Structure 1
Amino acid sequence: MPAKIPATVVTGFLGAGKTTLIRHLLENAGGKRIALIINEFGDLGVDGGILKGCGIEGCAEDDVMELSNGCICCTVAEDFVPTIQKLLDRAEPPDHIVIETSGLALPQPLVRAFNWPEISTRVTVDGVVAMVDGKAVSDGQFAHDVDAVDAQRRMDDNLDHETPLSELFADQVACADMIVVNKSDLLTEAEAELLTGHLRGQARDGVQVVRTSMGALPANVLLGQGSGAETDMEKRHELHHHHHDHDDDDPGDHDHDHDHDHDAFESFVVTRGEITDPDDFAAQVARVIRTHDILRLKGFAAVRGKPMRLTLQAVGPRIDSYFDQPLAANEPRETRLVVIGQAGLDRGAIETALSA
């Protein structure tokens, strides 16, 4: 059976920077063909128009699909599933699908839709990413313009307008595999640390909290989480079930023409000799990840007495390891691991811990 196509769900309040994040991803996709599903409230698709007109190689106009007929979590059967099917049925399906929800859509119903028989064997949720306006949340507002959020909620008479934004925010955080604190350049280090701790306290165990500015998150951090979120929905609780709200990401957040670098992130390779026991080494890797807040770790290991190469993939606390192929006769019997994290990793300590 062909491998399932991965899909990333991006959620977050008005002005958090969802479309900016996606545009940055497209600009740095490294040749990966990405299809976008943009859910916007109303007939005018602001975010879809921004992305369709971006002129980015690998982002063809027909790879951007808009759902403007209502909240994506309310129109799963009518709009979302058929749209996914159209993408999957193409002669050349995308390598990855990114779904930008309207600002106040609940991610849980959308993630559950990946269990529909029509698509469940062909696509999987790679990860749910909750975008957070770091400055607004640090100030206790959840969105940079609460009045604008409330105004858009009032535009739909079918909505329950009494649900506090704090509960909607908590639902997004509860479903997330990664929380991206955007606009972190507007926070002091103390404010950022306090906010990170607060978000981790609200999230499930092992959820990564990543800081960035202007949505500049490397593709190898955002994609490839492999969460299979649709298979563990019981852990992604909802505080409520019927308050489906709407907004668009702030178009004013996308007018900046900045060149982004990845100085906020770093990666390096750790090389060591053979390992003795795969399970013991996986536990060792898990300890190092927890201690040093590593985002990703991947690579290959030579196991003493074994002819096969061991592949390791770690995303936060989740570690997968398996023997994939024999080591070539001229291939050195060594272990090579790529470590990815935010800038400031203690490389020396990590190398020492992984080589022990």
Structure 2
Amino acid sequence: MTRLYLVTGFLGAGKTTFLKNLVRCFPGQRVALIINEFGREGVDGALLSDLGVTLSEIDNGSIFCACRLEQFEDTLQGTLEQEPDVILVEASGLSDPTSVGRILGQREKFANLYYAGAICLVDAARFHKVYATARVCKLQLAVADLILINKTDLATTAQIARIREEVEAQRPGRPVYETSFGALDPAWLFSMSPSGPGSPSGIHTRDITLQKLTLSVGRGFTPASLEKFLAMFAEDTYRIKGFVPLSGQIYLADCVGPLVRLEPWQGDAVNPGRLTVLFGNGLPARKSIETAISWYPECEVTVE
């Protein structure tokens, strides 16, 4: 019987770093990853490619949405045929996973699968902003069997206490732990008691409040100027992510809200020069991007 763990959490909560730590909780076991990204440009797969496990990617939509559900089920069936001991599914940060119980409960398709539960990561530094503007945050917590308040090093004791109070009120009786850098104690996994709730509404359709676009970045930027360019509109987005060639070197751009990170990248790079930008209603991302582009007329950058 293969155990499946679902990892959820809003954009920038630290899921990719957490997955690297989670894989280490299963020494000597065959582990497979299924990575889901909302944007068209898959990045997390490249970031996780050095873990030495089987990895599949599903991009450009949520695996729980009608647009990608069939692909997810086919990928999961193909992964099960390899008979892994553990499957770790990283859902898109914009996903609504409330139908996970109904999907994985199809015994005719997944007879040898045991759903071990959902682990939800909460960003301690940005929780209240995204919780108020993105409804999927509440839906991800609604199916959580283990809640990790991550990035506690970036929040005050009072902020963490308030977050704990709110998540425990929404998901009473579920274990809640505090951590930083996605670290976890393997014993936490044994505190999970999966409920696997289904969704009364069935297959989900796209949340129209969530929006995305792609920035094609060409010549003219240096690492310093690109960092300043991204900083002009990062605060009006949920996430900016992708690889960019600059000065003969590939860089990884990974922005969470106003925090802009640009660093050299030595591994494989997917679609270099294309950045996925994710935002929602009420965030003036498009206008801010247009303003930023006007400040850098000598640089090649287009919006798709």
Fold agreement, TM-score > 0.5: yes
**1:106 and 2:96 equivalent?**
yes
Contact 1:34/1:97 (8 A) holds in 2:
yes
Contact 1:71/1:246 (8 A) holds in 2:
no
Matched with 1:183 is 151
The one-letter code of the counterpart of 1:133 is D
Q: Name the CA shift for 1:216/1:171 in 2 (closer, same or farther; >3 Å).
A: same
Larger radius of gyration: 1
Q: What's the TM-score once normalised by structure 2's chain length?
A: 0.63
The one-letter code of the counterpart of 1:213 is S
Q: d(CA) in 2 for partners of 1:180 and 1:45?
A: 25
Q: Name the CA shift for 1:20/1:207 in 2 (closer, same or farther; >3 Å).
A: same
The one of 210, 222, 246 aligned to 2:189: 222
Matched with 2:268 is none
Q: d(CA) in 2 for partners of 1:35 and 1:223?
A: 20
Residue 98 of structure 1, CA deviation: 0.6
Contact 1:72/1:110 (8 A) holds in 2:
no
Q: Name the CA shift for 1:202/1:174 in 2 (closer, same or farther; >3 Å).
A: same
Contact 1:42/1:68 (8 A) holds in 2:
yes
Q: d(CA) in 1 for partners of 2:262 and 2:192?
A: 29
SS, match of residue 252 in structure 1: strand
Residue 32 of structure 1, CA deviation: 2.5
Q: Name the CA shift for 1:189/1:70 in 2 (closer, same or farther; >3 Å).
A: closer
Contact 2:174/2:192 (8 A) holds in 1:
no
Matched with 2:129 is 141
Residue 15 of structure 1, CA deviation: 0.6
Q: d(CA) in 1 for partners of 2:122 and 2:15?
A: 9
Contact 1:76/1:110 (8 A) holds in 2:
no
The one of 44, 48, 51 aligned to 2:48: 51
The one-letter code of the counterpart of 1:178 is L
Q: d(CA) in 1 for partners of 2:174 and 2:193?
A: 13
Residue 127 of structure 1, CA deviation: 1.0
Matched with 1:73 is 64
Q: d(CA) in 2 for partners of 1:223 and 1:83?
A: 27
Contact 1:11/1:100 (8 A) holds in 2:
yes
Q: Name the CA shift for 1:22/1:73 in 2 (closer, same or farther; >3 Å).
A: same
Matched with 1:333 is none
Calculate the aligned-residue CA RMSD, in Å: 2.9
The one-letter code of the counterpart of 1:210 is Y
SS, match of residue 130 in structure 2: coil
The one of 154, 157, 162 aligned to 1:194: 162
Aligned length: 217
CA offsets 1:67-112 (integer angstroms, 9 cap, x no match): 114221124542111111111112xx11111100111101112332
Contact 2:145/2:193 (8 A) holds in 1:
no
Q: d(CA) in 1 for partners of 2:159 and 2:72?
A: 38
Q: Name the CA shift for 1:224/1:207 in 2 (closer, same or farther; >3 Å).
A: closer
The one of 97, 110, 119 aligned to 2:109: 119
SS, match of residue 92 in structure 2: coil
The one of 184, 208, 212 aligned to 2:179: 212
Q: Name the CA shift for 1:127/1:86 in 2 (closer, same or farther; >3 Å).
A: same
Structure 1 unaligned regions, length at least 5 = 144-163, 257-356
Q: d(CA) in 2 for partners of 1:113 and 1:67?
A: 16
Q: d(CA) in 1 for partners of 2:193 and 2:154?
A: 31
Q: d(CA) in 1 for partners of 2:133 and 2:40?
A: 25
The one of 37, 40, 54 aligned to 1:40: 37
Contact 1:41/1:102 (8 A) holds in 2:
yes
The one of 7, 10, 16 aligned to 1:13: 10
Matched with 2:284 is none
Matched with 1:252 is 254
Contact 1:41/1:246 (8 A) holds in 2:
no
Identity %: 33
Contact 1:127/1:223 (8 A) holds in 2:
no
Q: What's the TM-score once normalised by structure 1's chain length?
A: 0.54
Q: d(CA) in 2 for partners of 1:132 and 1:249?
A: 18
